[in-house]
Structures are given as structure tokens and as C-alpha cells.
Amino acid sequence: MKKLFLVIVIIAFASGNIFAYEDYETDSAKNTITFDLVPLIFYTPIFWIVDPALNFVGTSIQYERYISRKFSVAGKIYYRGFYIIDDWQGEKTLDLFSVLSLDAIARYYPTGKQFFLDGILGYASLLHSYEGYGTTRKSNSHFFKLGAKLGWRIDFGKPRGFVLEPSFGYYASIGRYNIETGEGWFSDLAAMLQSFVVNQLLIGSGYFSLCMGWSF
């Protein structure tokens, strides 16, 4: 994991050297830090309404460095967790999915600091653990991610200050989900549900993001 993180950092810095500051205003903000509000605003209440036993936590933080008026590079780290705490006939069970992801991002502003397009290369580590009925199971899966995102930068404090970024994107995951299940139709159904959670909520598929932050 340390080697992969080093590779991502090298790629980010190498990408940054491609573009010069020649057309970049000297009085403009050159950095932005944002974090994602969507897991906090949308996912958690939805899970509580569907079933109080379902819980979702997570957010992300991103640092962006402007290379020119239309280009920037960024690094993002995010954590997402989905867990089920149940009590069936006096037996408590815990089913936990935990994802830590590192992303390297190249961003292009076609009109300069408003609409943007992201190209994303990332790595995600998924830990799945289950405890209950006298058994404990754990598995660890690793994924590479390729993604793209379209968004809109709303800057409230030009040239520096509060920013808001609504965006839509898609991640394609490359990797194998390691899962241990029992036998029978119920175990097969549980495996399908777990695979859906991993691919549609934690790592891959489409997503909506609403980031809030500060440019300086």
C-alpha cells in the first residue's frame, strides 16, 4: 500500500509539471480544500428510515493545486463504512464493510474556474468483517479505480474564500471481492447483497457529490 501511494503521488506531481503557470493570474487562489457532504446529508438518514439496524458513515477530503487557469491536480482520501447491527433471538451480530480510498485527480476547467472535468485514478482497500453466532469472519479486498466526473465550481469569495462543488461521476473498479459465505440459497442471497453494497455504494458505479470547502 505504501508503494502504491508513492506511485500515485509521483503521478500527481509529474502531471503537474506538464502545465506551466504562464497564463495563471498571480492574484488568484492556487489551492482548494474540500470535503464531501453527501454521505452525511443523504445516505445516513436514508439508511435509518429503511432499517434502524443499517448504518452508513463516511466522507472525503480533497486537496487541489492549480497549475494554470484551466488545469489543476488533486489528491483525495475518503472513508466509507456500511454496517449492520442486528439482534435476532437474543444473538447480536455485526456485519461491517469499511473502505479506505486514495485518488489522484487531473482536473480541466474548459471555461476557467467554473465547470470542470475530472480524470481519476485510485486505489481502494475494502475490509469486510462479520461477528455473530459464535463465528468471526474477515476478508480484505483490493481494487484499482478509474473514474470521471463532471461538476460545477461555485465560488462565493473570489478570488479566495468559500466554494461549493456539486458534481456527478462514475467509478469503474478493477479487482476481486474476496468473500466467505456458507452453503445454500440464503448464503447466495447474502453474497449478492454484499456485492451490490460494495459495487454500488462503496467503490464503483455512479455517484453524486456535493463538496464544500475553501480556496486560498
CATH code of 9's domain:
2.40.160.20
pLDDT in tens, 90-136: 677 777 888 899 999 999 999 877 899 999 999 999 888 877 777 77
* Structural domains of the chain, count: 1
The per-residue pLDDT for range 29-78, each reduced to its tens digit, is 889 999 998 876 666 666 655 565 667 778 899 999 999 889 999 999 98
Contact 164, 156 (CB under 8 A): yes
Cell of 2: 505504501
168-196: per-residue pLDDT in tens? 998 888 877 666 555 555 566 666 676 66
Residues 6+ apart with CB under 8 A from 161: 155, 214, 215
The predicted structure's pLDDT at residue 50: 56
Residue 51 — φ and ψ, nearest 5°?
-160, 120
| Choice among 89-93, 137-141, 147-151, 207-211 with the minimum mean pLDDT | 89-93
Does this model's pTM top 0.85? Answer: no
Range of the domain at 104: 2-22+29-215
Q: Is 156 left (phi over 0), alpha (psi -120 to 50) or beta?
A: alpha
Find the radius of gyration of the CA atoms of the chain.
20
Instruction: From residue 68, give the alpha-carbon distance in Å to each of 15, 56, 73, 150, 187.
Output: 12, 38, 10, 19, 53
